[in-house]
Amino acid sequence: MSNSEHGMTAIGVLALELAGGSVPARPALSSEQAGALAERIGRDLAQWVPRVRELDLSLGGAHFDPAEALRPGWPLHRRLDELRARAPGRDEGPRLLAFGTDAQGDVPLPFKADASLAGGSLRVVPFLLSGDPQVVAEVAAALEDVLLAQGMAQADTALLAQEAFGAQVEHARYLTVHDLAAMMSMQYDNQGLAVLWPLLETALLAPQSSEWLAASPEPLLRYVDGEARMALFDPAGWCAYYNHDRADCESLKLVYEQYLARQRQMAAVLEAHGVPVLYVHIEPGQDARAALQA
């Protein structure tokens, strides 16, 4: 659940697990297709939490990489909320709002997915529920309780998403953004990136806070002020900071190259989540942690 100048919103996604190696044929739905999908999403959610029917349901009729939905400030859902706020019919009862391609069939900028993140096996379609703060709070809490365990989309919803996007969908399920974050945390753990998750979690859930990644032999990182500051060492500085014997530094050249590759991997993950990376060059003999705090 998040604050909005228009009240409160509960934010989530329809997660589409694609058949291995398949890519959806279409990046976004027409307004009519998006409306039809929104109707079925509303019906599905209401089977678990009936008070969903008392709220506006807004759907962005495009699919994204999960990292695009898990960015500080939730920009994907914020754009959807901005469109909702400008839509007609406010104060006329719960609305079903679906945003798809424009009249020419083009995807509007707010829902144009990052092409560099295409090709993954999981794509997500954002939705939000808005309205009376008390009802939103109740619905959001209930969805947190039920979706991860029970939130499979009904068969006709999954089929509609498959046909409309031109995708080979193996599973379609509903997740709150916290559920999605938990899923991504496990995925990063399986990819050997568990040490990076506390920093990403801070950026998502407590962006005004700071967090360190200072576990040797990992790259030295500090999240603060909305960016990740990464220590950049030359070979001698790296050897000194990680307490390698100076006499062994030349023989550790391959290990240093692996360290640089690890830095690039972490930077790519952070930037996919909308966290900019600032490289801070560490001079020989300089206190690296102090440099990242400057």
- In contact, 81 and 128? CB cutoff 8 Å: yes
* Same domain? 48 vs 109: yes
* Same domain? 78 vs 199: no
* Same domain? 181 vs 201: no
Pick from 161, 190, 219: which residue ends a domain?
190
Rounded to 10 deg, the angle between the 177-190 and 133-150 helix axes is 40
pLDDT at residue 284, rounded to an integer: 80
pLDDT at residue 77, rounded to an integer: 96
Rounded to 10 deg, the angle between the 197-205 and 253-272 helix axes is 20
* Same domain? 122 vs 139: yes
* Same domain? 176 vs 255: no
What is the four-CA torsion angle of 114, 175, 42, 101, rounded to 10 degrees?
A: 0
pLDDT at residue 5, rounded to an integer: 38
* Same domain? 168 vs 230: no
* Same domain? 80 vs 224: no
In order along its 294 residues, the chain shows pLDDT tens digits of: 554 433 478 999 999 999 988 899 999 999 999 999 999 999 999 999 999 999 999 999 999 999 999 999 999 999 999 999 999 888 788 999 999 998 777 888 878 999 999 989 999 999 999 999 999 999 999 999 999 999 999 999 999 999 999 999 999 999 999 999 999 999 999 999 999 999 999 999 999 999 999 999 999 999 999 999 999 999 888 988 888 766 677 788 889 999 999 999 999 999 999 999 999 999 888 999 999 997
* Same domain? 167 vs 39: yes
Q: Count up the domains in the chain and report the number.
A: 2
pLDDT at residue 285, rounded to an integer: 84
* Same domain? 136 vs 278: no
* Same domain? 19 vs 121: yes
Lookup: tokens for 12: 């989530």
pLDDT at residue 247, rounded to an integer: 66
pLDDT at residue 252, rounded to an integer: 84
The boundaries of the domain holding residue 250 are 194-293
Pick from 190, 207, 242: which residue ends a domain?
190
CATH classification at residue 261:
3.30.750
* Same domain? 163 vs 123: yes
* Same domain? 151 vs 238: no
Pick from 134, 162, 190: which residue ends a domain?
190
pLDDT at residue 16, rounded to an integer: 98
